[in-house]
Amino acid sequence: MKARDLTELALRNLREALLRNSLTTLGVAVGVASLVGMVSLGVGLQELASQRLMRSGLFDAVFVTSPRGFGGPGGGPARASQIKDAKILDEDARQQLAKIPNVIEVYPQIRFAAQVKFGNNSTNTSVLGLPASSRSSGALEGMKGQFFSSAEAKEALLQADFAKELAAPASPDSLIGKELTLRYAERISAPSGDSAAMLGALMGGLAGGISVAPREQTFRIVGIIESDPSAGIGGFGGGRVFVPLATAEGLHTAQPSDLQALMSNEPSKPTYLALTVRARSPKDVAAIEADIKKMGYLAFSLLDAAKGLRTVFTVFDLLLGLFGSLALTVASLGIINTLVMAILERRREIGVLKALGATDADVKRLFFAEAAAMGLAGGLFGLAGGWLIGRALTLGTTIYLKSQDLPSIKISSIPWWLALGAILFAVLVSLAAGLYPASRAAKLNPVEALRYE
């Protein structure tokens, strides 16, 4: 029998037992809807999470620490053998790292405690040096005012909450364009000498090897940002005042790494606790990380964490899909039941078809076509239902987020592969459900089938 005739006959048979076949199809639709709804939720949440994380601008960065250091982010306890041939993160290392292909910037973490004076207000807070590449990281979304005019400008960005505190009772926006004064400790290098003596001197009162002097510097407030662009990196973040990195370096503030430098053979040469290497794009990160490790440093990137996150979401998807599949399994039992009942009811019809010259394959295909048609219809309706479930979830979330003064998000997403996969899956499950009934119908003896009343 030709495919068109087969389809016509199958649809006609389905139309005849309309109620029962509709209910069976509805069962498939409910199964597919729950499957699509659940998986779309998983996909949506995954998209949401990775989108938010990508926006943070941390996925194109590799954090480098020396195994000799105090153990920077991701460093962990270093083994003795590593320590032996490990290199110190100094200026040479910084130059070397910058030469790795696809590296656009290498910068240290410059962070220092300072007293902020603004008008009559005076508070202590931490100041962070912000590299030029932060501007393009997307982390500054929602910034009021502007980014630094140049890499060495005496300009500052304020964290929103801090700005609110500083400006109170006036609006924080009024701070933009005004000046504030930072009071900080400057490190003054001493000529090289016996390091043990210097350490003693340091402990004794910061004299000898390193001396520290208070300094004051005026900065113009150019902008206010919602979140810390470097938040989330181990040991980083928490800054409330941001100045250009080069400016911060030029201040020669006392850094924790000074202690490390003090214990090395050349205390006068500045070393870094950690360096951040920014890659051209997140896809270059893995290669850069490998190169850095080859150079003998510890490297860590958030891409490692993102990979773990993806695993979590994949398992999450799988579990959600599993629950959805359960519903579909129940639905496929419905298909089996409907088709087996149809065989009992249509024994005589099968006998007549065979007497008229239908082959076993014709009968089998007819039942398969009916199962597939129910699967396809169920899949389509189910997809629509799943989409509605996703919309309802998004709508509910949006209403809730609005009540919490948060921007709305899309928590459910149906990519094309899910839509296509759901329909295909519904048809395949239906065909599998039709397997037994169809082969039973095909094997029916025509003489016995015709005798059946």
Nearer Cβ to another protein, position 6 or 160? Answer: 6
Nearer Cβ to another protein, position 24 or 255? Answer: 24
Residues that bind another protein (CB under 8 A): 1-2, 5, 9, 12-13, 16, 348-349, 351-362, 445-447, 450
Least distance to another protein, CB of residue 369, Å: 13
- Of 214, 241, 244, give the one whose Cα is nearest residue 228: 241
Contact 330/431 with Cβ under 8 angstroms?
Answer: no
Strand partners, 61: 278
Least distance to another protein, CB of residue 29, Å: 25
Nearer Cβ to another protein, position 249 or 362? Answer: 362
> What is the rounded distance in angstroms from the CA atom of residue 152 to the CA atom of residue 130?
11
Nearer Cβ to another protein, position 113 or 447? Answer: 447
Nearer Cβ to another protein, position 186 or 360? Answer: 360
Concatenating the DSSP letter of every residue in 207-244 gives -SSEEEEEEEEEEEEEEEESS-TTTTSTT----SEEEE
Cβ neighbours for 337, distance < 8 A, ≥ 6 positions apart: 24
Least distance to another protein, CB of residue 340, Å: 19
Least distance to another protein, CB of residue 21, Å: 13
Least distance to another protein, CB of residue 377, Å: 19
> What is the rounded distance in angstroms from the CA atom of residue 384 to the CA atom of residue 289?
45
Nearer Cβ to another protein, position 71 or 446? Answer: 446
Cβ neighbours for 100, distance < 8 A, ≥ 6 positions apart: 277, 288, 291, 292
Least distance to another protein, CB of residue 20, Å: 14
> What is the rounded distance in angstroms from the CA atom of residue 89 to the CA atom of residue 91?
7
Which residue is listed with tokens 């009992």? 344
Contact 112/254 with Cβ under 8 angstroms?
Answer: yes
Nearer Cβ to another protein, position 94 or 354? Answer: 354
- Of 429, 357, 363, give the one whose Cα is nearest residue 6: 363
Least distance to another protein, CB of residue 351, Å: 8
